[in-house]
């Protein structure tokens, strides 16, 4: 899965282009940069890959989420529905915006369950942020239908799902905006980086401004001549990070082909195991195949298989115990451990995070294991992994 597995001459060439100019900043210095605008090239390529009108790069996936929330007009006091299975950045970005994360159940897609959304919608609900976890998609068409029916903003967190699609349409393009992460362990990596896509000119302009201190980027070569239509902050990506990511993005088709080949080989081998059922994927052709996620019949059996797999050298994440991706271990949120008072606390009517229980999600996650699919595996590696898996299920 991680793009760093296939670093090569392409990445070195793009980085060298930047270093030879001495211009690491993404804006200005036109005379010195020798025609190299790596962030801009990346954005154009991302638009082409996702069939989006606009794209904007940021310094991280978290920065992309923060920027997209602001650009979509989501802010203080707004309630935003998210799943309890996601990376902490999803709720961090919402809190950073002064908005209120509201958690809802997942289903066997491992993503938000559209059938449970209306249970948590209130008069303060402004947006829904489905998270396309582990390389595959939520029931995004049904989630969009709920948002359209209720007049809510749909903002997709596709940070883990670059290259994935539903019915031929790229994840991240179903809502007002979509976000990707390009951090160190993502399918496409910049080392640190993130991106926003949208078909809304207004959302793009606000994202472009917000992520760069409010600059409108209309001042020409004199950056100081830019106006500042809105208050912003600094979520800029550097040209060095963008250069690495550009080379990686050009390898995306190869990456997806490799992931799918490796995943399907292992999945086919596991298909007849009596205890195993697989994650529901609404469109298997659109799966980016970064993980093979499967269910065991009980929590005890899942824990035993997780131990067996680890003992046989093919360990899998058991998300139910994960510190960073499942709400059960988010003690810092539940106990409101923060360095300073947070803006959303001023609303005076926060959800009871400390006693949050998502029973349907727990019943799924207790039984779930996910095997990361690597790009560097040889045919022999895959065969050895399959043998280790078979051995683990006999124990």
Active-site residue set:
186
348: left (phi over 0), alpha (psi -120 to 50) or beta: left
| Contact by Cβ (8 Å): 100, 80 | yes
What lies within 8 Å, CB to CB, of 130 at 6+ separation is 82, 83, 111, 112, 138, 140, 143, 154, 156, 157
The string of DSSP letters for 232-283 reads --B-PPPHHHHHHHHHHHTTHHHHHHHHHHHHHHHHHHHTT-TT-EE---S-
Greatest alpha-carbon pair distance for the chain in Å reads 69
What lies within 8 Å, CB to CB, of 287 at 6+ separation is 135, 136, 137, 164, 260, 263, 281
| CA separation for the pair 242, 2 (Å, rounded) | 16
Rounded to a whole number of angstroms, the distance between the first and last alpha carbons of the chain is 28
Helices and strands per DSSP (H, E), number in the chain: 12, 12
What CA–CA distances, in Å, run from 42 to 184, 196, 270, 336?
Answer: 17, 12, 38, 38
357: left (phi over 0), alpha (psi -120 to 50) or beta: beta
The string of DSSP letters for 343-371 reads GGGGGS----GGG---HHHHHHHTTEEEE
| Contact by Cβ (8 Å): 325, 86 | yes
Residue at token pair 């996620």? 293
- Stated as kind and residue range, the H or E segment containing 306 is helix 299-311
Please, what's the b/e burial string for 318-333 (b: 16 or more CB within 10 A of its CB; e: otherwise)?
Answer: bbbeeeebbbbbbeeb
């Amino acid at each position: 899965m991680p793009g760093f597995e296939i670093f090569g001459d392409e990445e070195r060439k793009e980085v060298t282009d930047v270093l030879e100019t001495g211009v690491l900043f993404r804006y200005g210095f036109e005379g010195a940069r020798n025609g190299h605008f790596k962030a801009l090239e990346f954005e154009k390529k991302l638009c082409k890959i996702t069939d989006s009108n606009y794209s904007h790069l940021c310094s991280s996936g978290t920065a992309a989420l923060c920027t997209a929330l602001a650009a979509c007009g989501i802010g203080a006091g707004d309630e935003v529905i998210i799943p309890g299975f996601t990376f902490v950045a999803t709720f961090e970005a919402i809190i950073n915006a002064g908005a209120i994360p509201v958690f809802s159940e997942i289903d066997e897609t491992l993503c938000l369950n559209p059938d449970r959304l209306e249970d948590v919608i209130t008069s303060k609900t402004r947006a829904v942020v489905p998270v396309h976890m582990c390389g595959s998609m939520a029931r995004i068409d049904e989630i969009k239908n709920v948002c359209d029916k209720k007049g809510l903003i749909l903002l997709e967190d596709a940070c883990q799902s670059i290259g994935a699609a539903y019915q031929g349409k790229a994840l991240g393009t179903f809502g007002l905006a979509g976000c990707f992460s390009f951090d160190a362990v993502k399918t496409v990596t910049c080392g640190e980086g993130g991106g926003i896509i949208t078909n809304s000119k207004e959302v793009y302009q606000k994202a472009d401004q917000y992520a760069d201190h409010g600059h409108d980027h209309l001042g020409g070569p004199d950056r100081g001549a830019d106006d500042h239509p809105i208050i912003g902050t600094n979520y800029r990506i550097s040209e060095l990070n963008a250069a690495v990511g550009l080379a990686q993005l050009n390898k995306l088709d190869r990456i997806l082909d490799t992931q799918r080949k490796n995943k399907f080989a292992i999945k086919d081998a596991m298909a007849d195991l009596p205890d195993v059922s697989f994650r529901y994927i609404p469109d298997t052709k659109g799966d980016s195949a970064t993980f093979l996620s499967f269910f065991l019949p009980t929590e005890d059996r899942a824990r035993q298989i997780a131990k067996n797999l680890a003992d046989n050298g093919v360990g899998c994440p058991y998300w139910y115990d994960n510190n960073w991706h499942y709400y059960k271990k988010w003690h810092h949120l539940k106990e409101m451990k923060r360095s300073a008072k947070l803006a959303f606390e001023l609303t005076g009517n926060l959800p009871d995070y400390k006693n949050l229980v998502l029973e349907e999600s727990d019943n799924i996650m207790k039984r779930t294991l996910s095997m990361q699919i690597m790009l560097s595996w040889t045919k022999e590696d895959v065969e050895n992994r399959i043998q280790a898996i078979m051995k683990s299920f006999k124990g």
